[in-house]
């Protein structure tokens, strides 16, 4: 698993019946692996997450984009906002990655968007040292609730400067985090970071955060 080509993978869940499709890219060994948690109504095919993933890959980071829900599960809107369920799927993806021979030694980071950010934070709180860093893009970290105080991994919250309402929610969540943390506001960006250059800023910030915290030196 040492080339920049995405490889389809199947993540079998602990129930023995559910399998979630994913796309794994490992440009180089030892650079770390970032697992993506998409937002409500999205999937592993999210164009924004895939753009960010390509940027992370250019720095040597591996990426895993996977569907948090099966098509049948996603058809039920209640599941789309079920943070405990989504967090469990993120945690199971981490366990799956750590069990793969070619990935077992990789430091793992989580990148969450929208509701996926809350799922990533809840998963990080439960997984402890198995998660080396978390990044939230336009996220709803407030939905992580009491798990915020239990997160030990370094957390970067990225919010658009014109994403009114979500900024305040991120500020409130930031205040509750007791780990190493940073809040970055991208000027003029709205919730989806569709403005020229906005998603590029997200990618740069995320790449710097993950490279810093998932490097071999940071794990020693």
Contact criterion met (CB below 8 Å) for 85 and 107: no
> Which of 10, 30, 7 shows the shortest CA–CA distance to 219?
30
> Which of 124, 126, 106 shows the shortest CA–CA distance to 64?
106
Asked whether the predicted pLDDT for residue 2 surpasses 70, the reply is no
pLDDT score, position 3: 61
Assess if residue 166 is contained within a domain.
yes
CATH number, position 90: 3.40.50.1820
Tell me what percent of the chain is helix, strand and coil, each rounded to the nearest 5.
Answer: 45, 25, 35
Assess if residue 76 is contained within a domain.
yes
State the Cα–Cα distance between residues 149 and 218, nearest whole angstrom: 22
pLDDT score, position 216: 57
Assess if residue 111 is contained within a domain.
yes
Q: What is the DSSP letter of 173?
A: H
**Residues for the chain: how many in total?**
220
pLDDT score, position 220: 38
The per-residue pLDDT for range 181-202, each reduced to its tens digit, is 999 999 999 998 999 999 999 9
Tell me the C-alpha to C-alpha distance, in Å, between residue 158 and each of 11, 102, 205, 206, 216.
Answer: 28, 31, 8, 9, 25
Assess if residue 136 is contained within a domain.
yes
* Phi and psi, residue 5, nearest 5°: -85, 130
DSSP H/E element including 191: none
* Phi and psi, residue 43, nearest 5°: -160, -170
- CB neighbours of residue 51 within 10 Å: 14
pLDDT score, position 28: 85
The per-residue pLDDT for range 48-86, each reduced to its tens digit, is 889 999 999 999 999 999 999 999 998 898 888 999 999
Q: What is the largest CA-CA distance in the chain?
A: 46
pLDDT score, position 20: 96
pLDDT score, position 219: 45
> Which of 103, 98, 142, 100 shows the shortest CA–CA distance to 119?
142
The per-residue pLDDT for range 78-121, each reduced to its tens digit, is 888 999 999 999 999 999 999 999 898 999 999 999 999 999 99
Assess if residue 220 is contained within a domain.
no
The per-residue pLDDT for range 130-184, each reduced to its tens digit, is 999 999 999 999 999 999 999 999 999 999 999 999 999 999 999 999 999 999 9
Parent domain of 39: 3-215
Give the rounded distance of the alpha carbon of 83 from its chain centre: 14
Total count of domains within the chain:
1
When pLDDT is cut at 50, 70 and 90, the band that residue 1 belongs to is very low
The per-residue pLDDT for range 15-27, each reduced to its tens digit, is 999 999 999 999 9
């Amino acid at each position: 698993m040492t080339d920049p080509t995405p490889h389809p993978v199947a993540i079998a869940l602990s129930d023995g019946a559910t399998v979630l499709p994913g796309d794994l890219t490992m440009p180089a060994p030892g650079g770390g692996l970032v697992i993506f948690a998409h937002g409500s109504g999205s999937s592993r095919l999210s164009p924004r997450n895939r753009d960010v993933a390509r940027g992370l890959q250019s720095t040597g980071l591996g990426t895993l984009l996977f569907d948090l829900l099966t098509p049948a599960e996603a058809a039920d809107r209640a599941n789309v906002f079920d943070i405990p369920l989504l967090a469990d799927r993120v945690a199971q993806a981490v366990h799956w990655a750590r069990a793969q021979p070619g990935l077992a030694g990789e430091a793992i980071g989580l990148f969450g968007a929208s509701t996926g950010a809350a799922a990533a934070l809840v998963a990080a709180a439960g997984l402890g040292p198995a998660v080396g860093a978390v990044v939230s893009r336009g996220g709803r970290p407030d939905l992580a609730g009491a798990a915020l105080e239990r997160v030990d991994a370094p957390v970067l919250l990225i919010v658009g400067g014109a994403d009114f309402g979500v900024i305040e929610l991120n500020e409130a969540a930031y205040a509750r985090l007791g780990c190493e943390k940073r809040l970055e506001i991208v000027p003029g960006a709205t919730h989806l970071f569709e403005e020229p250059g906005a998603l590029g800023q997200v990618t740069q910030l995320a790449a710097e955060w993950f490279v810093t915290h998932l490097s071999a030196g940071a794990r020693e």
